[in-house]
A and B are shown apart, each in its own frame.
Chain A
C-alpha cells in the first residue's frame, strides 16, 4: 500500500485578480521507506505540492491520501495533530529557534507536540544528534554553528517525533555543494536506518541524482518519473 497516493490532484489560488493553477491534475504514489525528489524550476509547483502533502494546505480538487488518510478532510486542529504524529519538516532556512541550544532545538517537538517523558526524550535526542554527527555541539546555539550543521540539526528535529514521512523543501538551497551532499547523504542514511520516507524538493540537478525516485514538475504538471 502506498504511503502517499494522489489522484487528479489540483490546486488553484488567486494572486490578486489572477487565477493561478499551481497544480494540474497530478497522479502519483510514494511507497513507504523511499527517498523521493520533486524537481523543477521555480514556480513549477514543488512547494505547493509539499504543502499539500504536509497538510499545511488543502487541494482545490482531487484526492490526496497520506498514510491512508484523506488529508483534504482534516480541519486545522486535526491537520496539526496529524502532522505532529506522522510528518517531519526540514526547511530551506533551517528555522531553528535562536534562543534554544542544538539539544533543545531537537527536543522541543517532543515537548510541544508529543509530551514525551524526559528520560525517553533525552535518549531520542542524543541518539539522533549522534546519528547526524552533532552530539558534540549539542550545547551550542544556532548562531554558533555553520549552515550545514544547522541543517543536520533540522534533520534530527524532523526525525525526533518518529514520523513516517519527512518533507524537505529545498533543504540544500542555502548550502554549498559539499555541504549539500553531506546533508542529503545524512537524510539517506536516516532513511535506511529508520525506514522513514523522505520527500525533498530541489532545483539542483546534481543533488537530484541522490534520490531513488525523481518526479519532475513543470508548470504544475508531472512531467515524468
Chain B
C-alpha cells in the first residue's frame, strides 16, 4: 500500500473491470428479460400444451392434430389443479387465404376467446396500432405487413377462406377491426379473429383447440409448473401407449431462447475477462511488492515472524486491494446503471421500435462479482506471499 500511485492504478483497474461487468450484466439482462417479456406477453405465453406431434408440424398448422372436447377437459382439469397459473387461453390456429376482393394472399390466423387471450398474453392488444383494442365476432385484427401489402385499413371488408380438416373450403367476410403491430418470433405476424368465427369457417360442430397457452403468476416458477403439468399430463396416453399431449415452455417454442443462451454465454466470458484482469493486475502488484521488500522480509523473518504470518501479511494486502476495488466498483456500477435508467435509453429490435432499456442488477449478482474479485485477489497474492515466506533471512538481508 506504500506506493500510492501503483496501488491506485491497480484498484482503478479492478474497479473498471467490476463496473464493466455490472453494467454489461444489467444491460444484457435487461435486454434479455425485456425480449422474453415481449415474446411471452405478446403472443406466446409462458407454457403451451398441444396434442402430441403438433409442434413438430406447427409450420403447416395441421387441423388433424387439434384437441377434442375429452382431451380438452383433461387438460383444463390438470391446469386448474396446478397452482401458480394465472390464466390460460384456448386457440384454434389455422392457415387460410386473405382477400381484399382485388388481391389474395396467405394468412395465419388465431381464433381466440378475447378475454382469456388478453389475460394470458396481456401485451397482445397493446400491439393494435389502429382501430379498437378488442376482438369482436365478425372482425379481424390484421398484421401490419399484411395490411400494408394488401392496402387494407380499419373498417374495410375482407374475406378469409380456409380449408377444414375434411378438405372442404369455406369463406367468411370480416370487417378489419384493427391493424396489429408485428412482434419478434414465430406467431408474431399472425392475425386474430374470435374463436366462434374460426369454428364457423372451419365448420367445426364442436370447438377443437389447436393449442392452450398458459400464463404463470410468477415467471420464476416456470420450470416447477412445467414439471408438474408435464408429470400430470404424461399419465394420459394415446392409442399407441405414448403420452397424448406435449407440454413446452416458451424456450422450446421461440428461437429467441438461443439468443438468450448466447447472452448468458457472453456474460460468462465477460466474467472470465474480469477474473483475468484482477488476476494479472493483483499478481503484478504483489510480485513487485515482494521484490521491492526483500530486505524488509529478511528483517521481519530474522526477528522471528513465522512463515505463516508473512504469508498472511501479503494475502491481507491482496485481499484489501480486491475488497477496495470491488466496493468502489460496486458503487460506481450502481451509479452508472442508475444514470442509464434516468437517461431512458431506447433501442429497436426487429420491427419493434423504441423499446425502453431498463437495466437493473440484483444484489446476488453484485455479491457474486464482489466475491469473485476478492477471491481472485487473494489467489493472485498466494504465489508472491508463499515466495516471501520461503525466503532465507540471510540471503534476504544481503539483498541490495
Mark A residues whose CB is within 8 Å of B: 51, 54, 56-57, 76-77, 80-85, 87-89, 91, 93, 95, 97-99, 108-109, 112-113, 157, 161
Asked whether A54 and B302 contact (CB < 8 A) given A95-B295, A95-B296, the answer is yes
- B58 lies within 8 A of chain A by Cβ: no
Add 20 more A-B contacts to A93-B295, A113-B303 (CB < 8 A).
A56-B302, A57-B394, A77-B307, A80-B301, A80-B307, A81-B306, A83-B303, A83-B304, A84-B303, A89-B299, A89-B302, A89-B303, A95-B298, A97-B296, A98-B2, A108-B300, A112-B303, A112-B309, A161-B303, A161-B304
B394 touches A51 (CB 8 A): yes
Determine the chain B residues whose CB is within 8 A of the CB of A112 once the complex forms: 300, 303, 305, 309
Asked whether A84 and B307 contact (CB < 8 A) given A95-B397, A99-B2, the answer is no
B302 touches A84 (CB 8 A): no
Q: Least Cβ distance of A101 to chain B in Å?
A: 13
The A/B interface has a contact count, at CB < 8 Å, of 55
Question: Which of chain A's residues has its CB closest to B308's CB?
Answer: A77
- B393 lies within 8 A of chain A by Cβ: yes
A56 touches B393 (CB 8 A): yes
Q: Least Cβ distance of A10 to chain B in Å?
A: 17
Q: List 19 A-B contacts (CB under 8 A).
A: A56-B393, A76-B307, A81-B304, A81-B306, A82-B304, A83-B302, A84-B303, A84-B304, A85-B304, A87-B304, A88-B303, A89-B303, A95-B295, A95-B296, A97-B296, A98-B2, A99-B2, A112-B303, A161-B304
Asked whether A91 and B299 contact (CB < 8 A) given A80-B307, A83-B304, A112-B305, the answer is yes
Cα A83 to Cα B302 with chains together (Å): 7
Q: Least Cβ distance of B290 to chain A in Å?
A: 15
Cα A67 to Cα B299 with chains together (Å): 22
Determine the chain A residues whose CB is within 8 A of the CB of B301 once the complex forms: 80
**Per-residue contact bits, chain B 371-400, to A (CB 8 Å; 1 contact, 0 not):** 000000000000000000000011001000
**Per-residue contact bits, chain B 276-305, to A (CB 8 Å; 1 contact, 0 not):** 000000000000000000011011111111
Determine the chain B residues whose CB is within 8 A of the CB of A80 once the complex forms: 301, 304-307
Determine the chain A residues whose CB is within 8 A of the CB of B295 once the complex forms: 93, 95
A95 touches B305 (CB 8 A): no
Cα A97 to Cα B299 with chains together (Å): 9
Cα A77 to Cα B304 with chains together (Å): 9
Q: Least Cβ distance of B399 to chain A in Å?
A: 11
Q: Least Cβ distance of A154 to chain B in Å?
A: 10
**Per-residue contact bits, chain B 1-34, to A (CB 8 Å; 1 contact, 0 not):** 0100000000000000000000000000000000
A-B residue pairs, 7 tightest by C-beta: A84-B304, A83-B304, A95-B299, A99-B2, A113-B304, A112-B305, A109-B303
Cα A56 to Cα B394 with chains together (Å): 7
Q: Least Cβ distance of A80 to chain B in Å?
A: 5
Q: Least Cβ distance of A104 to chain B in Å?
A: 13
A77 touches B397 (CB 8 A): no
Residue in B299, B302, B306 whose beta carbon sits within 8 Å of that of A77 in the complex: B306
Determine the chain A residues whose CB is within 8 A of the CB of B296 once the complex forms: 95, 97
Cα A57 to Cα B302 with chains together (Å): 11
Q: Least Cβ distance of A177 to chain B in Å?
A: 25
Q: Least Cβ distance of B391 to chain A in Å?
A: 11
Determine the chain A residues whose CB is within 8 A of the CB of B303 once the complex forms: 83-84, 88-89, 109, 112-113, 157, 161
